[in-house]
Amino acid sequence: MDMNSLSPTMPTSPLSMINQVKFEDEPDLKDLFITVDDPESHVTTLETFVTYRVATQTSRGEFDSSEFEVRRRYQDFLWLKGRLEEAHPTLIVPPLPEKFVVKGVVERFNDSFIETRRRALSTFLTRVADHPTLTFSADFKVFLTAPDGELSAHKKQGPGLLSKVGRTVRAAALALRGVRGRPEEFEAMSGFIEAFSQKMGLLDKVSQRICKEEREYVDEMKELGPTHALWAELEDDLADTLGGVASCLDRCCQATERRLRGLAEALLPVLHEYVLYGEMLTGVMKRRDHIQAELESKVEALTYKKADTELLREEVGKLEDKLECANTALRADWERWRQSMRLDLTSAFAASAERNVRYYEQCLATWESFLATQSDLYAKEPPEDKP
């Protein structure tokens, strides 16, 4: 990007520059907009769950209307993800937030958890809508438009339990067999995924720990300001100074809380989403390897088997086509995902850096103002009162 082409009035902060590149390189051609909001808790004799309103606006001709509004629960999102993976085994389907949380760490249905999950579910649908292939999935359309009863009926149309068990057993057998000659490009992908997952997992853990320590720091600071205020009531000579310190601590505490909210709402969700992406990528690579392993198994059987060779040759031909399609899909989606990943992480870190700069500037200005006030008071004191 030519930096001289920037508008004189355009903000030149790191985050705004990143967004400008995104807007100029990717013209807004979206024709599908989805929001997830209005969570509602439901209590029955068997279970307690939360539903979310999914509102869709679109100009696509394949939809019967331009606006739809349905309610969906987490299990419905999970069904959609599974159907997308089944139909497109080597495309990178966006991850969903985990179904369960660790007991004692967070309440499953408190407001904070529900809001965090709502944001994650909204991100999932937005990423599916922006995907060049997944966005045209028939199951995705049904998810967005079908009334609750129709969705339940549609979910029952999938493969039966025995079919799923059979596929699982075959996949486990092929996984044990492994692949003999994975192409170099996919070997490099596998190595990247392993290293990426490790690094993102470490970043996520450290960031969570920092967030926890920040909360404890804020709680301590909330007690420190009032302590100085009470002290000021007992010391007439130090009342102005102690009151100023209490005021500074209060303002710094508020700034720290804003910084903490930014960390919890903007940076942590992005890091954790890409931890989940690491798991998704591992699954995609396994599904790709299963196809190759099945092909190698059929080729080996054809080599040693004398009967039914025509049938085996036909199966080998189909598997060769299937593997080529899987490889082509993964190559294309891999580059698209890496570009999106770089932009997401760069934007998140740049935004975090800007918040940190603003935070320290606010705290510095607060204490500098206090020092200036104290200097003026000191200058006005009679000479005999000065130490």
Average pLDDT over residues 370-386: 71
**CATH code that applies to domain 32-155:** 3.30.1520.10
Check pLDDT > 90 for residue 83. yes
- Rounded mean pLDDT of the chain? 84
One-character DSSP codes across 107-164: -TTSHHHHHHHHHHHHHHHHHHHHSTTGGG-HHHHHHHH--HHHHHHHHTTS--HHHH
pLDDT of 309 reads 80
The H or E element that residue 208 is part of is: helix 184-234
Residue intervals in the chain for CATH 3.30.1520.10 = 32-155
The H or E element that residue 340 is part of is: helix 309-380
Least confident of 291-295, 309-313, 320-324: 309-313
Taking the CA atoms of residue 94, residue 342, residue 333 and residue 62 in that order, the dihedral angle to the nearest 10 degrees is 60
pLDDT of 385 reads 54
Check pLDDT > 90 for residue 5. no
What pTM did the predictor assign?
Answer: 0.81
Least confident of 92-101, 274-283, 334-343: 92-101
Average pLDDT over residues 178-199: 91
Residue intervals in the chain for CATH 1.20.1270.60 = 183-379
**Domain 183-379 belongs to what architecture?**
Up-down Bundle (1.20)
pLDDT tier at 43, thresholds 50, 70, 90:
confident
Nearest residue to 274 via CA among 54, 120, 108, 99:
120
Check pLDDT > 90 for residue 156. no
pLDDT of 354 reads 95
pLDDT of 20 reads 41
Strand partners, 382: none
Round to whole Å and give the CA distance between 29 and 117.
Answer: 28
